[in-house]
Amino acid sequence: MMRAFPQMEKNATVMQPHRQAFANRRRDPATKREAILQTAAHLFLEKGYGRTLMNDVADRLNITKPALYHYFSNKEEILLECYRWGTALIEDKLNQIAAQKGTGLEKVEAFVYEYANVMTVNFGRCVMRLDESDLSPKARAEVRGYKRKIDRRLRSFIQEGIDDDSITRCDPRMAAFSTAGAVNWICMWYKPEGPLAPEEIAAQFARMLTHGLAARRKRRATQPHGSRKVQQQMSGVTS
Amino acid sequence: MMRAFPQMEKNATVMQPHRQAFANRRRDPATKREAILQTAAHLFLEKGYGRTLMNDVADRLNITKPALYHYFSNKEEILLECYRWGTALIEDKLNQIAAQKGTGLEKVEAFVYEYANVMTVNFGRCVMRLDESDLSPKARAEVRGYKRKIDRRLRSFIQEGIDDDSITRCDPRMAAFSTAGAVNWICMWYKPEGPLAPEEIAAQFARMLTHGLAARRKRRATQPHGSRKVQQQMSGVTS
Amino acid sequence: MMRAFPQMEKNATVMQPHRQAFANRRRDPATKREAILQTAAHLFLEKGYGRTLMNDVADRLNITKPALYHYFSNKEEILLECYRWGTALIEDKLNQIAAQKGTGLEKVEAFVYEYANVMTVNFGRCVMRLDESDLSPKARAEVRGYKRKIDRRLRSFIQEGIDDDSITRCDPRMAAFSTAGAVNWICMWYKPEGPLAPEEIAAQFARMLTHGLAARRKRRATQPHGSRKVQQQMSGVTS
Amino acid sequence: MMRAFPQMEKNATVMQPHRQAFANRRRDPATKREAILQTAAHLFLEKGYGRTLMNDVADRLNITKPALYHYFSNKEEILLECYRWGTALIEDKLNQIAAQKGTGLEKVEAFVYEYANVMTVNFGRCVMRLDESDLSPKARAEVRGYKRKIDRRLRSFIQEGIDDDSITRCDPRMAAFSTAGAVNWICMWYKPEGPLAPEEIAAQFARMLTHGLAARRKRRATQPHGSRKVQQQMSGVTS
DNA sequence: CATGAATGAGAGTTCATTCAT
DNA sequence: TATGAATGAACTCTCATTCAT
């Protein structure tokens, strides 16, 4: 099994606002473009795409609205680019996993781990949290293509596992929905400032979703229950 | 364990458009109100709240826009009512489960089954799919209250299971996020016209999320693989 | 001079709400019509014509909106009728004054007294307080006719006074504007529940507007100043 | 007494339409803001606030409706600003008068003169002619504050006059209502295009309202009646 | 007659996008 | 290049008025 769970780059928005990118006129245009994207992604997640005004984005970057149109031809293109960056993050990881050795179950476990990590990064969150129907049909089709690829990868891992007996017999389609759903949902409740570290979430999800909640037979009667913690102030299942 | 998985009422929108409710002026106002809600819920899920116009709702019901304002004082009230109907569906089920006997694991299993069923009903889907930030702060607080209740219930079932040794030691909070996330996500991909029956989805999710994907030891090498089906035209992990 | 300042009927709205007029089905239609008018006049003065909904009127009378349309063909007709009742009140008084004997100054004094009284009655207040531009051109012309008549009467009294030397030489047009303006403005600040009795207002205005504020020569140095009172909580010049 | 009745700036709306203010994009924003206000004030007086559409204002300025929202956040703000400009005009004059020497009666006379002049300027007219109930409670409170100040000033002048024996004993409250009412009413009938010059109106009102209409004793029996003029086409007492 | 229901015709406001400088 | 200003196209909500019962 892949033991080395590599570190995911921390969510840049949290660590460093991108408002400096436009401070200097002679800055790399690509840097500015990314600054716009990071800011937009942040706002899209915070207020929703529809309620995020071009002005909001511009204001955060201390530039004017029309300046945005130097880098993106319209609002939707910003949205689409967020999707692209997010899906690229995911695909990257999946390719690595697919290239590695291991049972199907191990690959699923790795998938969950890596995917969960991406779901804590703004661009990754955008992929699953934002509403596709804000995209034009053409752009939507593109995004759906990316998502389908992810889905196919997961299903293939599951199928591998069924074939190599590491995964119990089941409908791989449903198993994929269930597994991916749990991980996707992270993007709905994860908060960068929250108490849970991305890696911790990822590791726990990886185990739970592969080995289940049910206790194995013959567990010792007395357990330390060490993992139970006082429940912090956290909103619930959804937000 | 609760074996009798009761049937969920079929999604009325699918079976019967509500356009007849306004055919007669002297029809029960409650019926008309519900017809508006069903139609609105349908459209909200299809196009998103923001892109659903009051006119869209009215057109589907063959009435005019201002007529809607006889039944709801504004668009947000329609949205809020969708949330209320959806959360009521869920709470109802949860109360039944909580009242029953069984191990914690069995209750979690029942929770997943019932909850998954609700996630295939439009009002239920609305609860998890629509964006809370379209609600006013007051309404949002109300909805969050409902959601928190659901979350608490699930966590308590998990805790029960940990205490009675039916569930492996884990952080109940994370386990709840994982389990509920998988089920919540159903509302993102489920399509009433799709090939999967709600009960089938619910049953499979109930088993997978409690017992995991991992094969138990000593499984026979040859399996019939009977459940694998040709994959129909279905979009992927998310939509 | 006309000493007998007859009592003006008290503002009916204050003394008795007209909500009873529709209690009995077999009531005089004229009574109901008047009840509508009184209620409407009250609301028009309170909230303005534009912000007074037909529903507001109906609600106060405990009837339904369409019922109003049995008595008036539209909202404007109600408004126009308010004007008519109000101007009728005024004309009535003016005719009496014109028929009486006395100097021009005395007639002006009587005019002010009577007119001021009318300005404390809702229908009278409507005439001067409501905005003519809410009327159709035709109705506006009618109302302007009434007002012109009032104006002509006042100017003629002033002219009489100038001719008989009871009034100082002046432009009767300007004098009429000044005198009538002071009285008209009563409708802007008078409140039935207020501390000032209509007759008191009328009497003081009658004297001030004819004899002015200036002290006559050779006033005794010491005066009781009896009329100065503690200034109650009253809004100001305008409201 | 203050003899120098200073000239009031002529109503700019009459002399110069403000449609040029938006001819150049790079024009002073303050100028444009004022152009909007002048235009709006004009229309508010002409058609009433409620019947004046944002489009009407925009059309007159040869701009589009949303352009207005660059300068004012909503319609009410335009209205409120009209009130503010108008009350500022008044307060300015009152402060000057209060600072000067003279008997109470002289101050009242000056008050009438100055106030009457303001009542012929659109912003001034707005203050007394427009309906306060079109303002939000907060804005209304502000405006009432301004009006109360004016009222207090007038009452204090009257009281001064009573104290220094230049004004006959009377209830200063009623005297203020009467005096201010006459002047306020000017805003109801004054028309910039009309035959009466503001200063002429102001001067006559100042005399009539302080010295009354009544002829002083021992006036000669024959008067030239020189001031009587042919009555032009003017509407009556009110409009 | 009286009423609950329905509507047509707006009005204000918003916002992505584009001029003009 | 970058920006303040301007706009077109909507969309929600309102309300006098009228059906249909």
Written as one string, the DSSP assignment of B70-114 is TT-SSHHHHHHHHHHHHHHHHHHHHHHHHHS-S-HHHHHHHHHHH
Residue D224 pLDDT class (50, 70, 90 cuts): very low
C228 interfaces chain D, CB cutoff of 8 Å: yes
Do C and D make contact via 3 or more CB pairs under 8 A? The reply is: yes
Q: Which candidate, C56, B38, C130, C147, places its Cα nearest to that of D238?
A: C147
Facing residues of B214 across strands?
A: A167
Q: How much is the average pLDDT of D207-231?
A: 56
- The answer, yes or no, to whether residue A157 has pLDDT greater than 60, is yes
Question: CA B202, CA B110: separation in Å to the nearest integer?
Answer: 9
Residue B95 contacts strand F, CB under 7 A? no
CATH hierarchy code of domain D75-238:
1.10.357.10
Question: CA A214, CA B165: separation in Å to the nearest integer?
Answer: 9
For residue D5, what is the DSSP state?
A: -
Shared fold status for A16-69 and A75-238: no
3-state secondary structure of C44: helix
Q: How much is the average pLDDT of B204-233?
A: 59
Q: How much is the average pLDDT of A176-203?
A: 95
Q: Which nucleotide is nearest to D76 (CA to C1')?
A: E12
Among C residues 31-60, those touching chain D with beta carbons less than 8 Å apart: 47-48, 50-51
Question: CA B30, CA B221: separation in Å to the nearest integer?
Answer: 59
pLDDT of residue C209: 93
**What is the b/e burial string over B110-138, where b = at least 16 CB atoms within 10 angstroms of the residue's CB?**
bbbbbbbbbbbbbbbbbbbbbbbebbeee
pTM of the model as a whole: 0.84
Question: CA C213, CA A134: separation in Å to the nearest integer?
Answer: 73
- The answer, yes or no, to whether residue A45 has pLDDT greater than 50, is yes
| Helix C104-118 vs helix C137-163: crossing angle, to nearest 10 | 150
3-state secondary structure of C134: helix
- The answer, yes or no, to whether residue D3 has pLDDT greater than 50, is no
Task: Supply angle C-alpha A124, A129, A133, rounded to 5.
Answer: 120
Residue B234 pLDDT class (50, 70, 90 cuts): very low
Chain A nearest C-alpha distance from B9 (Å): 22
Residue C74 contacts strand F, CB under 7 A? yes
- The answer, yes or no, to whether residue A221 has pLDDT greater than 90, is no
Please report the DSSP string for chain A in residue order.
-----PPPPP-HHHH--GGGTTTSSSS-HHHHHHHHHHHHHHHHHHH-TTT--HHHHHHHTTS-HHHHHHH-SSHHHHHHHHHHHHHHHHHHHHHHHHHS-S-HHHHHHHHHHHHHHHTTSHHHHHHHHS-GGGS-HHHHHHHHHHHHHHHHHHHHHHHHHHHTTSB-S--HHHHHHHHHHHHHTHHHH--TTSSS-HHHHHHHHHHHHHH-SBPPSS--S----TT--PPPS---S--
Chain D nearest C-alpha distance from C213 (Å): 5
Question: CA A79, CA B4: separation in Å to the nearest integer?
Answer: 46
pLDDT of residue A54: 93
Q: How much is the average pLDDT of B180-191?
A: 96
A215 versus D44: the higher-pLDDT residue is D44
Question: CA B127, CA B184: separation in Å to the nearest integer?
Answer: 9
pLDDT of residue C238: 42
pLDDT of residue A213: 75
Question: CA D48, CA A138: separation in Å to the nearest integer?
Answer: 50
Q: What are phi and psi of A214, to 5 degrees?
A: -60, 140
Question: CA A173, CA A156: separation in Å to the nearest integer?
Answer: 10
| Under 8 Å between Cβ of C25 and C126 | no
Domain ranges of chain C: 16-69, 75-238
Amino acid residing at D152:
R
**Least confident stretch, A157-161, A222-226, B79-83:** A222-226
pLDDT of residue C9: 45
pLDDT of residue D9: 45
Mean pLDDT of chain B: 84
Residue B235 pLDDT class (50, 70, 90 cuts): very low
B29 versus C107: the higher-pLDDT residue is C107
- Nearest CB partner across the interface for A214, out of B46, B155, B210: B210
| CB burial of residue A77 (10 Å; 0-12, 13-18, 19+) | middle
pLDDT of residue A30: 74
Q: Which nucleotide is nearest to B65 (CA to C1')?
A: E7
Write out pLDDT tens, residues C37-93.
999 999 999 999 999 999 999 999 999 999 999 999 999 999 999 999 999 999 999
Taking the stretch 172-231 of protein chain A, residues with Cβ within 7 Å of any atom in nucleic acid chain E are none
Q: Which nucleotide is nearest to B25 (CA to C1')?
A: E5
Nearest residue of A to residue B179, measured between CA atoms:
A182
Task: Supply angle C-alpha A109, A111, A113, rounded to 5.
Answer: 70
3-state secondary structure of C94: helix
- The answer, yes or no, to whether residue D102 has pLDDT greater than 90, is yes
Q: Residues of chain C whose pLDDT is less than 70?
A: 1-28, 215-239
| CB burial of residue C92 (10 Å; 0-12, 13-18, 19+) | exposed
Taking the stretch 109-168 of protein chain B, residues with Cβ within 7 Å of any atom in nucleic acid chain E are none
Write out pLDDT tens, residues D18-50.
767 777 767 788 899 999 999 999 999 999 999
Please report the DSSP string for C136-171 in residue order.
-HHHHHHHHHHHHHHHHHHHHHHHHHHHTTSB-S--
Cα B12 to the center of its chain, rounded Å: 14
Question: CA A187, CA B128: separation in Å to the nearest integer?
Answer: 13
Residue B67 contacts strand F, CB under 7 A? no
pLDDT of residue B30: 87
The distance (Å) linking the CA of C138 with the C1' of E9 is 23
pLDDT of residue B190: 95
Question: CA B25, CA B32: separation in Å to the nearest integer?
Answer: 10
Question: CA B115, CA B206: separation in Å to the nearest integer?
Answer: 10
On chain D, the residues whose CB falls within 8 A of the CB of C201 are 174
Residue D189 token pair = 């009938």
User: Which candidate in D56, D156, D177, D196 is best for mutational testing of the C interface (most C CBs within 10 A)?
Assistant: D177
Write out pLDDT tens, residues D4-18.
334 444 444 444 557
Q: Which candidate, A105, A30, D19, A49, places its Cα nearest to that of B48?
A: A49
Q: Which candidate, C92, C143, C80, places its Cα nearest to that of C117?
A: C92
| Under 8 Å between Cβ of D203 and D113 | yes
**Which nucleotides in chain F lie closer than 7 A to a protein CB?**
1-21
User: Which candidate in D83, D148, D149, D237 is best for mutational testing of the C interface (most C CBs within 10 A)?
Assistant: D237
- The answer, yes or no, to whether residue D221 has pLDDT greater than 50, is no
Write out pLDDT tens, residues A9-41.
444 444 455 656 666 555 677 788 999 999 999
Number of residues written out for chain A: 239
pLDDT of residue A122: 96
Residue C234 token pair = 């009253």
Q: Cβ–Cβ of B147/A237 closer than 8 Å?
A: yes
Q: How much is the average pLDDT of A107-133?
A: 96
Query: Domain D16-69 has what CATH class?
Result: mainly alpha
3-state secondary structure of B167: strand
Residue A181 pLDDT class (50, 70, 90 cuts): very high
User: Which candidate in B51, B125, B237, B239 is best for mutational testing of the A interface (most A CBs within 10 A)?
Assistant: B237
Question: Which percentage of chain A shows pLDDT scores above 70?
Answer: 77
| CB burial of residue B180 (10 Å; 0-12, 13-18, 19+) | buried
Nearest residue of B to residue A213, measured between CA atoms:
B210
Q: Which candidate, B96, B72, B89, places its Cα nearest to that of B187?
A: B89
CA distances from C166 to C103, C171, D230 (A): 6, 14, 22
